[in-house]
Amino acid sequence: MDELPETRLVREDRRQVGGETKLGGRPTFLCGEFTEECCSEPMVLLGQFDELDFPEAELPDRMIAYVLICRKCQVITCAASAKG
Ligand SMILES: [Zn+2]
């Protein structure tokens, strides 16, 4: 299934976003790739959120959290990948 258009984001406080936070596009993997499937197809990236960009969320070091969607049945799920 086609990926969504990639959009890079700017924090509302204008602090620099130096991590991999974005909407759409292809997931950025830190350590090994993975695929979540629904309807026998890979799910599409809705957005990913890099710990580096949101220290106040207190995610583990160097972690990216992903929200994935199946556009056929409108199901979302989340996954995470950490380095090391
Ligand atoms: Zn589905």
Amino acid 84: pLDDT: 61
From first to last of the 84 residues of the chain, give the pLDDT tens digit. 589 999 988 888 888 778 899 999 999 988 888 889 999 999 999 999 999 888 888 888 889 999 999 999 999 999 998 876
Amino acid 16: pLDDT: 78
Amino acid 1: pLDDT: 57
Closest CA to 77 of 40, 37, 49: 37
Closest CA to 53 of 1, 17, 6: 17
CA of 18 to the centre of ligand 1 (A): 33
Please state the pTM of the whole predicted model: 0.84
CA of 41 to the centre of ligand 1 (A): 8
CA of 64 to the centre of ligand 1 (A): 23
CA of 17 to the centre of ligand 1 (A): 32
Closest CA to 81 of 45, 33, 47: 33
